[in-house]
Amino acid sequence: MPLVCLTDFQAQARERLPKASWDFIEGASDEGITMRDNMAAFKKIRLRPRYLKDVSQVDTGTTIQGEAISAPICIAPTAFHCIAWPDGEMSTARAAQAAGVCYITSTYASCTLEDIVASAPSGLRWFQLYVQPDWQLNKQLIQRAESLGFKALVVTVDVPIIGKRRDDLRNQIDLKANLRLKTLQSPDEAKAVPSSLLAAMNAFFCWDHIPWLQSLTQLPIILKGILTREDAELAVKHNVQGILVSNHGGRQLDEVPASGEKGVEEVLNILKEEFRTSMTLTGCRSIAEINRDLIQLSRL
């Protein structure tokens, strides 16, 4: 049976992956309220089409931070892709390159940054940073990513500590012991980075550290995990180039508001085609023609 929508891929992944791997990918924190609200929020959106327009030519392309992408679709940073496919993030990078979209690489990728770049040399990549207690290590990571051609630095701000992910605890999943954090080491290093780094997130990290990050790099800095107007305004005051409004997929603080290579490539193509279809059927010939008038929220 052909896989024609994202739900089909989700069902196949659940069937084929080990339970612990699936639970890690799909899991949420605590009661999972925010994760369920995320899905419900999207189902409330309704489109208001405008007809009798010439939509024989529809352009889904746009730019982010001055770089062209084929559609306003990006791959968010997620860790440990090797638990789903042996090539891990290298496959993800190749799929993103083929689709012409941006791939945001996680600090906790299971492949080296060098291997990821080599696997998709012409792809658009941003680097996501979990700020570490070792400031020299942060500097090394940022400057290494910049030297490898990553085009932006995405700093995750909503993980001072890891949320309580109950399924991972029940499964006794120990990624620290089983996976080498290859983004945190040079390719020629023989030994794994101490696993304690996975638990050492950024409880100390605050607004006062933003200027220090800016002093290290010419890359635009994007803050990921902003959820309030107050923090968005502070981001502007600190001269960051962008924010990603995110509740971490419901994997961090519960009850906050909602907001494989061939398989990845097919998922991206489905998203792009669905987006193009929606643009065509709502009378939008370019990204610039999309506006708030096209959206209404259902009370359902």
Segment 53-106, tens digit of pLDDT: 999 999 999 999 999 999 999 999 988 888 888 899 999 999 999 999 999 999
Which of helix, strand or coil describes residue 105?
A: strand
Over its C-alpha atoms, the chain yields an Rg (Å, rounded) of: 20
Helices (H), the chain: 6-16, 19-26, 33-43, 89-99, 113-119, 135-147, 166-171, 175-178, 196-199, 210-216, 229-237, 261-281
Does the pLDDT of residue 256 top 90, yes or no? no
Q: What is the C-alpha separation between 144 and 140, in angstroms, rounded?
A: 6
β-bridge partners, 243: 223
Show the domains of the chain with their CATH numbers: 6-297 (3.20.20.70)
Mean pLDDT of the chain: 83
* 159 vs 156: CA distance, rounded Å: 7
Per-residue pLDDT, 119: 97
Cα–Cα distances in angstroms (integers) from residue 136 to residues 184, 209, 212, in the given order: 12, 14, 12
For residues 163 and 57, the model is more confident at: 57
Q: What is the pLDDT of residue 29?
A: 64
pLDDT of residue 273: 93
DSSP 207: G
Least confident among 53-57, 159-163, 249-253, 266-270: 249-253
The pLDDT, as a whole number, for residue 254 is 45
pLDDT at position 262 is 74
Residue 151 near residue 222, CB atoms below 8 Å: no
Q: What is residue 35's predicted lDDT score, i.e. its pLDDT?
A: 74
Give the C-alpha distances (Å, rounded to integers) separating 20 from 2, 47, 168, 263. Answer: 26, 38, 7, 20
pLDDT digits (tens, 9 = 90+) for 10-21: 898 888 888 887
**Buried residues in 86-122 as b, exposed as e (16+ CB within 10 A):** ebbbbbbbbbbbbbbbbbbbbbbbbbbbebbbebbee
Q: What is the pLDDT of residue 80?
A: 83
pLDDT at position 236 is 94
3-state secondary structure of 183: helix
Whole-number percent of the chain with pLDDT over 70? 79
- The sign of the CA dihedral 221, 226, 232, 234 is negative
**pLDDT for position 106:** 92
Distance CA 256, CA 145 (A): 32
pLDDT at 167 over 70: no
Instruction: Give the separation between CA 103 and CA 151, rounded to whole angstroms.
Output: 10
Separation between Cα atoms, residue 211 and residue 240, nearest integer Å: 9
For range 285-296, the mean pLDDT? 92
Given this model, what pLDDT does residue 166 score? 66
Report pLDDT for 226.
86
Question: For residue 117, is pLDDT > 80?
Answer: yes
Known catalytic residues are 248
139 CB-side CA count, 13 A: 7
The verdict on pTM exceeding 0.85 is no
Q: pLDDT tens across 176-199, in order?
A: 554 455 665 554 433 434 444 444
- pLDDT level of residue 168 (50, 70, 90 thresholds): low
| Percent of the chain with pLDDT strictly greater than 90 | 45
pLDDT of residue 201: 57
User: Which pLDDT score, from 0 to 100, does residue 199 have?
Assistant: 47
pLDDT at 181: 55
Q: Write the DSSP assignment of 28-93 as a string of letters.
A: -STT-HHHHHHHHHHHTEEE----SS--SS----EEETTEEESSS-EEPP-S-GGGT-TTTHHHHH
Q: How far apart are CA 146 and CA 160, in angstroms?
A: 24
Q: Which residue has the higher pLDDT, 139 or 162?
A: 139
